[in-house]
Structure formats: structure tokens, C-alpha cells
Chains A and B, each alone.
Chain A
């Protein structure tokens, strides 16, 4: 049971967002710009993958599954591929740049000071721009917020992972700003 009275039937972050629309607005706007905006050299799939990876490190079931499903939707790959990236991205079939950015994201998850100059240099050598590094750090930091918001209030999450896979195409099409919390 959630720690505060939330509308029944709303899963994950939707409960607190319905409870507090004023804070939901900037939270959703931030997600829209970070994860979905087209003015970005990281693809939507790559950005969702960073979100899913950080959410798995934070052990947030709801977030890692919905963002993992979104990454799978954009990258046209299945749950097993996303799970493999979460478990051992270094061995996964992704670019060297993405591996270097996931290393940065993993350090941010532990704490900002864990990011090393060596990690940044490696990402730059693999082709990452300042904006890509900025966005990676901010996506990882943002998920350290979203994950804590979801689990810190003990929200409810459907346990069937297929639920998230089925929801992903609709979320991908509608984005994070204009959507019905009940659908």
C-alpha cells in the first residue's frame, strides 16, 4: 500500500502525478525534453536505455520496465536484449559511445563525484559531444529522482512485465506531456 492516499488503479509515477498536478507538470516537461525531444544527437531509444539502466541500478521495478519497454520499442529489440544491457552493457551489441555513456550514467547513479575524468575522456574519444555528456548525466540524475519518487511513496506497479511492453507504443506516440493518466 502506498504511503499516502493515491487514486486507485494508477500505476507507478501516475499516482503521485495525479495527486500533485503542479509538480507533475515540470516533471513531465523535463522527461519530454530529455527523453523525447528531436533536437538531440542521441536517439530516443538510446536515451530511454540510459533511463532504464539507471532505474535497474536503483532497483525501481516500474521505471526500469516502462523505460526498458520504450527503449525496446524505439530500438526495435525485445525484452531479452534490454535485460542483457542492464545486466552487462559492456558485453552487449551497442556502440562504444553508448557503452562509455552508460558507464558515466552508472557512476552518476552512485553519486555525482563517482564520475571520473577517465570516464569522460573515454566517452569523448568514442565521439560523445559535450551536450551528449550533459544529457547523459542529467538523464541519470533525473532517474535518481523519478525512481525515488515512485518507490519512496511505495506506489503500486503491475508485476506482469508484458503490461509495460504493451503500454510502450502508446507512450512513445503521445509523449510525456499530453496524456491521460487513466489510459
Chain B
């Protein structure tokens, strides 16, 4: 049960965004820029980083939500998403993305855990300053989102079939206020 009174028809962070629309605005804008930009990293790579960090933070709602969005972008390849979630080193992804996921995992522990060697390895695999910047900020932002969701005990659906429709909504229409003001997508749609 949530620690504060939220609209129980809204899952996860959606109920919190609806509780506090003024803070929802910049949080939505930040997610949109960080996760849907096509400059440098692809939206798929960005969502995979978010999924991995949310998994490390043990945030069920977030790692399943962003895992489903990544899966949608990947044309339904949940096996790959699952590998990146908990064992990216053996996943069929680029060395660059592996090196960036390593940095994201360090950020999850704390900013100071990121070493020069981590950064050099990413550069060696082709990452530039913007890739490194975006990876650090995506990982840091999910240390916010995950804590926001679990710290307030947000409603977390355990039925995984409810995650796909919400993921499709975000993949097609982006982040922003519409995710909590419009009718919620359901598995039957």
C-alpha cells in the first residue's frame, strides 16, 4: 500500500506524478530527453541502461516497465532484455554498450565508484563524451525514479501482462503528462 494517498487506478510512478503534477513536469521532460533522444545512443540503448540500473536498485515496477519499452523497440526480443538486465557481459550487444553498462552499474553504487579505467574502456570501445555523460545521467536519474517509486510504496502490478500496453504507449507517444492524465492502456486493447 502506498505511504501517501494516491489514485489507485494509476500504476507505479504514474500515481505519484498525478499526486504532484508540478514536479511531474520536469521529471517527464528529463525522461523524454534522456530516454528518447536519438543523438549518440539509441532509444533502445538508453532504455536498456535504465532497465539494468532499475534491476540493480531492485525496483520491480521500473525494471519491468523499461524492460518492456526496450523489448518493444527490439521488436519483441525479451531474451536480450533479460540478459542485459542481469548478465549483460554475455549478452549479444556491442562492447561499447557493455562498457557503458559497467559505468551505469558503478553510478548505481555511488558516483565515486566510476574509475578512470571504466571511462577509458568505454572510450576504447568507441564511446564519446556525450555517450558517457548521458550514461551517467540516465543511471543517476534512475537512482531517483527507483527511489521515488519504492520510497513511497507506489502501486506495483505483479501481473506482467499489464506492463506491455503501458510500454507501447510510451514507446509510441513518449514520456510526459499524458501517461497519467489519459485513460490507462489495458492488456485487452
Contact = CB atoms under 8 A, between A and B. Distances in A.
- B is bound to A: yes
Interface of A: 3-5, 16, 19-20, 22-23, 25-27, 29-30, 33-34, 37, 58-60, 104, 107-108, 111-113, 115, 117, 120, 130-131, 133-135, 137-138, 140-142, 144-154
Contact of A134 (B19, B58, B107, B136): B19
Contacts of A148: 107, 110-111, 136, 139-140, 143
A128 B65 CA distance: 31
Contact of B3 (A23, A25, A37, A133): A133
B41 interface: no
A26 B33 CA distance: 9
Contacts, number: 146
A154 B129 CA distance: 13
A130 to B, nearest CB: 4
B150 A19 contact: no
Contacts of A22: 33
A26 B111 contact: no
B151 A112 contact: yes
B136 A145 contact: no
A6 B110 CA distance: 21
B139 A112 contact: no
A183 B150 CA distance: 38
A26 B29 contact: yes
Interface string B5-16: 100000000001
B151 A3 contact: no
Given A23-B30, A134-B20, A137-B148, 13 more contacts: A27-B30, A30-B23, A59-B112, A108-B147, A130-B4, A134-B16, A137-B147, A141-B143, A144-B140, A145-B141, A147-B140, A148-B140, A152-B140
A33 B140 contact: no
B173 interface: no
A26 B30 contact: yes
